[in-house]
Structure 1
Amino acid sequence: MESWEMHLWFGDYLDALNRHELDAIREFIDPGVRRAHLPRGAEAWIADLAELFHAFPDWRWKRIQLVAEDDRIAAHLRGSGTHTGDYLGIAPTRRHVNVAEFAMYRVANGRIAEFTGSPDAELRAQLTG
């Protein structure tokens, strides 16, 4: 894909995320996706998102910056939502959180094949601090 196509592709992916449509999100993820420090595979990724969406039913991402080159995307996003369900072993706090996310994606055949991103430390700190 050309750089401009990667930007459009990522916009569609972000739209699916913000709608919390797991089946639509799955279409953007390679079944064998590798994620740094996280379980491999699309089903593990979908399970993690389902847990996030259950705990934060109003969770949304906003794109701050996006750089696309060759088969790589670097994204700076802001994620936010209200904690109303268990998440990462933390009981609901009703806190509204707003966290920065920095992520690198490798896209192959229109699907995310590799991902590495900032950990959940900032989110955990806002829920427990």
Structure 2
Amino acid sequence: MTGTELTDRYRGYITCLNSQNWPELGRFVDVEVHYNDQRVGLEGYRRMLEEDFRAIPDLRFNIDLLIAEPPRVACRLRFDCTPAGMLFGFPVNGRRVAFSENVFYEFQNGKIRHVWSVIDKAAVGAQLQYP
């Protein structure tokens, strides 16, 4: 895939997430997907995302920065949301918070095979005034 094809594919994946179109997730994510070096598989990955949306009903993935160097994509995602209860160990309880995630993907045969994610959890704590 070219860089343009890869970014288009990634944007389709983000649209799939934001619409919670779980039956289509397999079009973008490999059945053997690994998340932070742990094999979770497509079903485990889907369960993780579904749980994220349960915990954060207004969750929306917003692309802030997107770079593609085939077969990899690097993205800075921004979130501005109101988690229902706990988030990253902080009692958010319906308060609006904003944070970012720096995430790297490796594609294989047009699908996401590896995901490495780093979330700015300290930003949430700072907004809630927790050190």
- TM-score by shorter chain over 0.5: yes
Deviation at 1:49, TM superposition (A): 0.7
Match of 1:97 in 2: 97
* Unmatched runs of 5 consecutive residues or more in structure 2: none
Deviation at 1:92, TM superposition (A): 6.5
Q: Deviations over 1:80-123 (max 9, x none)?
A: 32112566677760111211110110011121101101047347
What amino acid maps onto 1:81 in structure 2?
C
TM-score, length of structure 2 as denominator length: 0.83
What amino acid maps onto 1:49 in structure 2?
L
Match of 1:77 in 2: 77
Match of 1:111 in 2: 111
For residues 120 and 41 of structure 1, do their structure 2 counterparts lie closer, same or farther at Cα, with a shift above 3 Å needed?
farther
For residues 122 and 106 of structure 1, do their structure 2 counterparts lie closer, same or farther at Cα, with a shift above 3 Å needed?
same
- Matched residue SS, 1:52: helix
* Matches of 2:38 and 2:122, distance apart in 1: 17
Q: Deviations over 1:57-102 (max 9, x none)?
A: 1101111111111200011110232112566677760111211110
Q: How many residues align?
A: 129
TM-score, length of structure 1 as denominator length: 0.84
Identity of aligned residues (%): 29
For residues 85 and 47 of structure 1, do their structure 2 counterparts lie closer, same or farther at Cα, with a shift above 3 Å needed?
farther
Contact kept? 1:55, 1:84, Cα under 8 Å: yes
RMSD of equivalent CA atoms: 2.4
Q: Does 1:59 align with 2:59?
A: yes
